[in-house]
Chains A and B, each alone.
Chain A
């Protein structure tokens, strides 16, 4: 499957990905000027953290969130392998938050759903990679580490 990779040399921490994800994916208005005043506040699915480094859901091969979800709200798309939240059935139990090793699931108490990146599975290309001004984010095929000899 394809995963988003970040080139740490190119990520300047400009937060463009966060801003666009928050506006285009998370907000109702899809306009920055309106999105910033929306209540509940739109939650971007990408986190520019630390070094800086843009981190979103890694769509784990054996995803702990899928095991933890008690009603099948967390699902994996059998065709793309992408893990996504079926928001209408989310009961806000935060079991997925409890086990996500990357800390990228937001327990939104105002929206009462777990919010996370689905890598824009219903769009052509992930918005964060599309808007990155330095090209730090790119979509690449996941390496098969098991085939590598150690």
Chain B
């Protein structure tokens, strides 16, 4: 057996680990167009903030490839994929053959077509090279365009280094795909308390300056600045898949079946590039987040190595971490409206709000499809498992909304859905008779 993995981040490494759990010796070739191996993309804002040095960005030790008997091809771009001949061509001029191939090519940051976007001092934050570029930029004022997770974290990172940062978002709230308006208000207040100017509902129209950027023109004002970070989202990097005529989904990701296989036999896809079944939305979706990439990479790897394993489906999960002083976690859909809907579906939103604590559950036909927790988040994972398993919980709302919710409270729900909670860690607790 000969494996080829294209990509070098979460999904790729997870696939390597699961292949090696079953197949200790077959040849694995891993191609990444980035020079730096094994760094965690999620941590790039921490690098910009000067809180983590380069070695601490690694999510696996530097001897990982050697230990896993993987031949890494770093900085080598795969230029073509031929599913019929089962070969790839790479930028090193060579051709490689495979029996099983994984596309874990991830996403590419969107560069919005704003006039002047090619000026110096403007960068996305996706690669190690981007992070280094931003870290070395000179100046005192920055504008971050796009208030998603990366935008917010980048903005706070720059502020921690004494740079005066403005966060600009064209929609009406911060983190619009992560939080609802109420949670976003709490988060926004916290960001502003850090000394960051937050502007929502305004669009960047033009970048000022000759060679180097000196300002951002919006529909309302001009923001003078020395640097700009673009964080308006990512798109799946599907060039190879398109060229190989694999099926591409409505969200422009590579469509995969429940075994993470693409429309071509022996070609699998996982991570930010893969369009999977979304449990919360009950439709195809791109969930470009770290945990999904890891889960999908493992499932793909197991199937590639011959152990037929179904992926239960993806769902969005975001945590803002320690960046704003209070924890805030969100998963699934944030509003009832954002689910795939038919007239027969019944939606419910339940919320509690005190000053800095907010909790909201979104139910569809009595099952959890979304949750937001701000302030008190330790039990967030209980919501995650109920969402993942899609069990009926409409009769347990007061218990689930309680501040004192604990895992043992869920045992009756687990027991009546015992076939879905077949993992030993649940079974053994159900066996206690509680």
Q: A50-B409, A97-B319 are in contact. Are A8 and B43 (CB under 8 A)?
A: no
Among B57, B60, B378, contact of A106 (Cβ-Cβ < 8 Å): B378
Q: Are A142 and B428 in contact (CB under 8 A)?
A: yes
Size bracket, chain A contacts = 35 or more
Q: A97-B381, A100-B381, A101-B385 are in contact. Are A67 and B294 (CB under 8 A)?
A: yes
Among A55, A67, A106, contact of B298 (Cβ-Cβ < 8 Å): A67
Give per-residue flags for A99-112: 1 if the beta carbon is below 8 A from chain B beta carbons, else 0.
Answer: 11111111101001
Size bracket, chain B contacts = 35 or more
Q: Are B329 and A8 in contact (CB under 8 A)?
A: no
Expressed in whole angstroms, the minimum distance between the Cβ of A53 and any Cβ of chain B is: 5
Does A94 touch B at the CB level, under 8 Å?
yes
Residue numbers in B under 8 Å from A143 (CB-CB): 424, 427-428, 431
A61-B425, A103-B406 given. 19 additional CB < 8 A pairs?
A49-B407, A49-B408, A50-B408, A58-B425, A67-B294, A67-B295, A68-B317, A72-B59, A94-B322, A97-B380, A98-B318, A98-B319, A101-B381, A101-B385, A101-B407, A101-B425, A107-B377, A107-B378, A145-B422
Q: A55-B406, A95-B290, A102-B407 are in contact. Are A145 and B427 (CB under 8 A)?
A: yes
A112-B51 Cα distance, complex, nearest whole Å: 13
Does A120 touch B at the CB level, under 8 Å?
no
Residue numbers in B under 8 Å from A58 (CB-CB): 425, 428-429
Expressed in whole angstroms, the minimum distance between the Cβ of A108 and any Cβ of chain B is: 10
Does A91 touch B at the CB level, under 8 Å?
yes
- Interface of chain A: mostly helix, strand, loop or mixed: loop
Residue numbers in A under 8 Å from B40 (CB-CB): 70-71
A53-B385 Cα distance, complex, nearest whole Å: 20
Expressed in whole angstroms, the minimum distance between the Cβ of B272 and any Cβ of chain A is: 13
Does A3 touch B at the CB level, under 8 Å?
yes
Among B326, B407, B427, contact of A55 (Cβ-Cβ < 8 Å): B407
Q: A107-B377, A109-B322 are in contact. Are A98 and B406 (CB under 8 A)?
A: no
Q: Are A101 and B378 in contact (CB under 8 A)?
A: no
Within 8 A of B (CB), among A12-67: 47, 49-51, 53, 55, 58-62, 64, 67
A-B contacts, 20 listed (Cβ < 8 Å): A5-B432, A55-B406, A58-B429, A67-B291, A68-B291, A70-B10, A70-B40, A71-B43, A71-B57, A71-B58, A72-B59, A92-B321, A94-B377, A95-B319, A98-B317, A99-B291, A99-B317, A99-B380, A105-B378, A107-B327
Q: A5-B432, A112-B322, A145-B427 are in contact. Are A103 and B381 (CB under 8 A)?
A: yes
Residue numbers in A under 8 Å from B60 (CB-CB): 72
Does A89 touch B at the CB level, under 8 Å?
yes
Residue numbers in A under 8 Å from B326 (CB-CB): 109
Residue numbers in A under 8 Å from B10 (CB-CB): 70
Interface centre among A91, A94, A101, by most chain B C-beta atoms within 10 angstroms, is A101
- Chain A residues in contact with chain B, CB under 8 A? 3, 5-8, 47, 49-51, 53, 55, 58-62, 64, 67-72, 89, 91-95, 97-107, 109, 112, 142-145
Does B56 touch A at the CB level, under 8 Å?
yes
Does B113 touch A at the CB level, under 8 Å?
no
Residue numbers in A under 8 Å from B423 (CB-CB): 60-62
Does B52 touch A at the CB level, under 8 Å?
yes
A103-B382 Cα distance, complex, nearest whole Å: 6
Residue numbers in A under 8 Å from B429 (CB-CB): 58
Closest to A4 in B: B428
Q: A71-B57, A103-B406, A103-B407 are in contact. Are A93 and B291 (CB under 8 A)?
A: no
